[in-house]
Amino acid sequence: MKPVIDATHDAQRQSWVEAANAADCEFPIQNLPFGRFRSAAEDGWRIGVAIGDQVLDLQRTGLIDYTDMARLMQLLPEDRLALRRALSDGLTAGSAQQAAWSEALAPMSEVQLGLPCDIGDYTDFYVGIHHATAVGKLFRPDNPLLPNYRWVPIGYHGRASTVMPSGHAFMRPMGQLMGPGDTVPRLEPTQRLDLELELGIFIGRPNPMGQPIPIERAEQHVFGLTLFNDWSARDIQAWEYQPLGPFLAKNFASTSSPWMITLEALAPFRKAFTRAAGEPQPLPYLDNDDDRAHGAFDVALEVWLQTAAMRDAGHAGDRIASSNFADAAYWTVAQLVTHHTVGGCALSSGDLFGSGTLSGPLPAQAGSLLELSQGGKRPITLSNGEQRTFLLDGDTITLRGHCQRGGYRRIGFGNCSATVLPAPSGE
């Protein structure tokens, strides 16, 4: 599926929503991401499109007559593109739709933003080769990458029920810990709580059970990307993960940003997918010319940490890491979809894939504290003098992302943020 670049990406196009025209706006008219929102008086979610600092109620525009996001996500690629063009034309400065559509706008600050869609299933992958290598070196210095990594898109089935929208705090999890020299594990709150800088991939169109999705059609089943933080309890993980992989160390909380950036919006920010010299090429079912030509997404990513002391002092926090999806990922989005279904697995609208931690090749590009602190051996020092090896109660992590390329408007992903609360008291 070749990306389409058209008038909706024109950098000169301006909106009658003035906030969307600001140079630093994350949601200019060239973006138009989808999410869900509601007012304080509503129980049900409505489908919204972000434009500037406003949310456009899609049903009230008359372009759709439903509030079910799954139905919208199942649109054929050509119908999805037609909807994008209609939205762009209606929001363009001078549009005949301005008077009617202005009544369908609500300030983001006055509505509640939820998860972008109902999430039925969640699979977390491990596409970040620099992260996999760095973590492997901590535990297996002589053999950091296991033999299957370069051949199989590694993943595990996560817990959809604890995926939260940005802005929701979560409690430090309890679990079994087995420290050095211990002979019996103990149940305690994790002391090695970590973040994971990831992107989420939302499935739009389903496939029937038993019918794999070939790689040349894989992106037709993807609706869009979002920021994603798969919180991890590293000490619980170290004890429980053998032989079946993550369990309580991962199932307590994950955080998603509220907006799905569509593949149509990302079209100008595609790159060739290449592997370093000496790396094996994918098996034929995971390889095709289009995916090689533009299978990578140039998404710049950042991790920000704000401690409780910083918050009390009015300090916005420190950027502790940055990386890029295109530089970090060993597998493409299309390859993940194809591999997930090659055995006959049925995907559903709203299924979520986590990319896995997207660390770059340099130490400052690490997407987890496990890497930044070298397994807790080297604390990082923040601008106010505080130090961290892992997260403390009251810490807030915010992920940010954007795409930028000469000749096109910069588009953003919004924030993906959550704060750590103390572990439950047990009373």
Is the pTM value of this prediction over 0.85? yes
pLDDT at 60 over 60: yes
| Interatomic CA distance for residues 313 and 347, integer angstroms | 46
Burial class (CB in 10 A: 0-12, 13-18, 19+), 278: exposed
The pLDDT of residue 179 = 87
138: which DSSP letter?
H
Number of Cβ atoms within 10 Å of the Cβ of 324: 18
| Angle at alpha carbon of residue 20, lines to 219 and 165, rounded to 5° | 55
277-301, pLDDT tens digit by residue? 999 999 999 999 999 999 999 999 9
Percent of the chain residues topping a pLDDT of 70? 99
| Interatomic CA distance for residues 357 and 378, integer angstroms | 20
111-140, pLDDT tens digit by residue? 999 999 999 999 999 999 999 999 988 878
pLDDT at 1 over 80: no
Q: Which residue's structure tokens are 């509030």?
A: 67
88-117, pLDDT tens digit by residue? 999 999 999 999 999 999 999 999 999 999
Q: What CATH number matches the domain at 7-113, 3.40.50.720, 1.20.120.160, 3.30.70.1450, 2.30.30.230?
A: 2.30.30.230
The pLDDT of residue 426 = 62
Element containing residue 335 per DSSP (H, E): helix 333-341
SS (H, E, C) 300-319: EEEEEEECHHHHHCCCCCEE
Instruction: Compute, in degrees rounded to 10, the torsion defined by CA atoms 170, 171, 172, 174.
Output: -130
Q: Which residue's structure tokens are 């409780």?
A: 308
Look at the chain and count its residues: 427
Confidence of residue 425 (pLDDT cuts 50, 70, 90): confident
The pLDDT of residue 150 = 96
Instruction: Compute, in degrees rounded to 10, the torsion defined by CA atoms 135, 225, 292, 404.
Output: -100
The pLDDT of residue 353 = 98
Mean pLDDT value of segment 59-72: 98
The pLDDT of residue 138 = 86
Confidence of residue 141 (pLDDT cuts 50, 70, 90): confident
244-275, pLDDT tens digit by residue? 889 999 999 999 999 999 999 999 999 999 99
Mean pLDDT value of segment 25-42: 96
pLDDT at 46 over 60: yes
Domain ranges in the chain with CATH number 2.30.30.230: 7-113
Mean pLDDT value of segment 219-227: 98
pLDDT at 379 over 70: yes
The pLDDT of residue 403 = 98
The one catalytic residue among 9, 130, 131, 221: 131
122-421 classified as CATH 3.10.300.10: no
Element containing residue 51 per DSSP (H, E): strand 46-51
Answer yes or no: 130 catalytic: no
Mean pLDDT, all residues of the chain: 96
296: which DSSP letter?
E
Q: Which residue's structure tokens are 């604390």?
A: 379
Do residues 248 and 175 make contact, with C-beta atoms less than 8 angstroms apart? yes
The pLDDT of residue 324 = 98
Q: Which residue's structure tokens are 């593949």?
A: 263
The pLDDT of residue 171 = 98
Residue 57 tokens read as: 């109620």
Do residues 403 and 266 make contact, with C-beta atoms less than 8 angstroms apart? yes
The pLDDT of residue 39 = 93
- Lowest-confidence region among 135-149, 371-385, 411-425: 135-149
pLDDT at 242 over 90: no
Domain ranges in the chain with CATH number 3.90.850.10: 122-421
The pLDDT of residue 140 = 83
